[in-house]
Amino acid sequence: MDTNCPIGFFDSGVGGLSVYSLFKKILPYENTLYFGDLKNMPYGNKSKTELLQFARMILDFFKEQNVKAVVIACNTSSANVYDIVKSEYDFKIYPIIQSCAKVISNMNFKKIGVFATVATINSGAYKSEIQKYNPNISVVEQSCPKWTNFVEGGQIYSEECLSNIKTQLDNMMCYNPERIILGCTHYPFLKPVLTKFADEKMFIDPSEIFVKFIFDDLKKSNMQRISKEMGTEKFFVSANPENFVNNASLFYKVNKLPSIV
């Protein structure tokens, strides 16, 4: 395999940048592609059949770009389609939930909350993946159907967003979780608001665990690009490139308008 081949990242929109930005800090020499499926966003209210169709469209596109691996920087797709697509392509595919569950299950908590999209919560993926490694952890799952749209709509400081976040947190706190997983890659964008109502330490952002997992696996599999030159990057969207650049800015500076695919 040519280690100079790029690694593809995808999400419904800017959310996956919470993973991508960290990846670029830790592995700046990798060549990367990022696909934001803004035409089909939000993924959280889509059926498994639709999510599969979107994922295959993006994975086929990445295949044409000759990727060496793909990072599913989207919990909803990881939960609903990873098990199906993993054997359909000859490059490695990294899913966020399955890659982080072991580390989370070893954190020695008895009760963990999960905020995620409706499609992720309905799949039960966080609960089953965590309990696979530690059946004694109780996992409280709660969907936040509006949160992705607050991020993609540039409305994270709106009255509606603030009050929705407070209500969701109040509901979750009734169960007394020791930590809450931000189980959608868009949710770290809401941290400035979440931390108005709860201590930052309350939240687990799986992207840190995920990027470490990818780093270790690339190394172990001899897939890392060894170069003194910084990696190249290209952004693609299925619609609305201007919105992508504007909303991305909280996590990553995208210097050029993404190409529409």
Rule CB under 6 A: which residues touch ligand DGL?
11-12, 15, 41-44, 74-76, 117, 120, 148, 184-186
Pairing status of strand 138-143 against strand 32-36? unpaired
Nearest-approach distance from CB 218 to ligand DGL, in angstroms: 22
Which of 5, 74, 100, 174 is the catalytic position?
74
Nearest-approach distance from CB 191 to ligand DGL, in angstroms: 14
CA–CA distance, 165 with 193 (Å, rounded to integer): 8
Which of 100, 144, 161, 184 is the catalytic position?
184
Query: Smaller CB distance to ligand DGL: residue 112 or 190?
Result: 190
The upper half-sphere exposure of residue 59, i.e. CA atoms within 13 Å in the direction of its Cβ, equals 26
Query: Smaller CB distance to ligand DGL: residue 74 or 93?
Result: 74
Nearest-approach distance from CB 23 to ligand DGL, in angstroms: 15
Which of 44, 162, 183, 166 lies closest to 113, judged by CA?
183
Contact 57, 34 (CB under 8 A): no
Place of tokens 């993924």: 43
Nearest-approach distance from CB 147 to ligand DGL, in angstroms: 8
Query: Smaller CB distance to ligand DGL: residue 213 or 225?
Result: 213
Contact 13, 74 (CB under 8 A): no
Query: Smaller CB distance to ligand DGL: residue 33 or 223?
Result: 33
Helix (H, G, I), strand (E, B) or coil at 9: strand
Nearest-approach distance from CB 163 to ligand DGL, in angstroms: 20
Place of tokens 């992207």: 207
Residue 174 annotated as catalytic = no
Kindly report the backbone phi and psi dihedral angles of residue 242, in degrees, each rounded to the nearest multiple of 5, phi listed first: -65, -45
Query: Smaller CB distance to ligand DGL: residue 27 or 72?
Result: 72
**Helix 206-220 vs helix 96-105: crossing angle, to nearest 10:** 100
Residues 185/189/195/201 CA torsion (nearest 10 deg): 40
Active site residues: 74, 184
